[in-house]
Structure 1
Amino acid sequence: MPSNLYETDFYAWTLEQSNLLKEGDFKHLDITNLVEEIESLGKQQRQELRNRLGVLIGHLLKWDYQPEKRSKSWRVSIREQRREILQLLKENPSLKPYLSQAIADAYEAGKDLVVKETPLDYGNLPESCPYTFEQLFDPNFPTDLNPA
């Protein structure tokens, strides 16, 4: 039985669907919209992975291509994104097979970040991601990232 709440009050719809599930009242569930929302949750995890990788790659590029402007803020951002990505992968291990594609997609976002925030332009940056998987997640890369 589809609920008009899905269109008029999404929060109330989620509460209603949750209660129906808890009660085992499967015949009154809004299956069509439940399926759509569950699929959407999975897509959100992939999007979060891409977004965090884009920020990480963007800050690594800024670190490499503007050594004279390196800042504590960039260092902290690199560290934070690495930690959050690893946590996301720990909580969602089925995202690991998607990681190579996510890195390739995120590289474009990383370049956009660099071009938006620095005097550099796309022609100043490599065509594809210059960082290996190992480098992206190595807390000691680049070697000058962590102050002595």
Structure 2
Amino acid sequence: MKTPYDNDVVAWAKEQAALLRAGNLKEIDVLNIAEEIEDVGKSVQHELASRLAVLLAHLLKWKFQQRLRGNSWKRTIREQRRGIVRCLRSSPSLKHTLSNRAWLDGVWSEATQQAEQQTSLIFPDAWIWSFSQVMDTGFFPD
């Protein structure tokens, strides 16, 4: 191993990939490779949470700031829905996350914080829609 993980992760990753492809398993950095693989899963889950929080924040603004509704909010809502569908298609194992109440509550909390910062309004502490409503392409709450 030429490049230490802590010095240059990109160079390290290229070297590790080359070692794996060459079958030089004795030379690979097993612990850091395992950590990087776990991080990939975490980043996809983070993307799902981030997209869902943005979607919820925009749906909250749509519901509670009716006079400010516009095409940009509608585009954001649609794009976040499409992004969530892409996340779930590319990583179907994330679907179980959607039944994790603590995870969903954390996403709701993030969404209300975003919406409150953008509007100075106070939003409900708990989910007011089902996940299927939120993902329904025709759902724009009144």
The structural deviation recorded for 1:62 is 0.3
Partners of 1:60 and 1:78 within 8 A in 2: yes
Corresponding residue of 1:43: 42
Corresponding residue of 1:118: 119
Pairing of 1:73-84 with structure 2 (within 5 A): 73-84=72-83
Please, which runs of 5 or more residues in structure 2 have no aligned partner? none
1:33 & 1:143 partners in 2: Cα distance?
A: 46
Cα RMSD for the two superposed structures: 1.5
Corresponding residue of 1:19: 18
Corresponding residue of 1:89: 88
Please give the per-residue CA displacement for 1:4-46, whole angstroms capped at 9, x wherever unaligned: 5211111110000000111111000000100111111111111
1:38 & 1:119 partners in 2: Cα distance?
A: 40
Corresponding residue of 2:134: 136
Partners of 1:53 and 1:103 within 8 A in 2: no
1:3 & 1:55 partners in 2: Cα distance?
A: 42
Please give the per-residue CA displacement for 1:23-81, whole angstroms capped at 9, x wherever unaligned: 11100000010011111111111111111000000000000011011111110000000
The structural deviation recorded for 1:100 is 3.0
TM-score norm. by structure 1 comes to 0.89
The structural deviation recorded for 1:106 is 1.0
Q: Aligned partner of 2:134: which letter?
A: L
Partners of 2:3 and 2:11 within 8 A in 1: no
Between stretches 30-39 and 98-107, larger displacement belongs to 98-107
TM-score norm. by structure 2 comes to 0.93
Other structure's SS at 1:6 match: coil
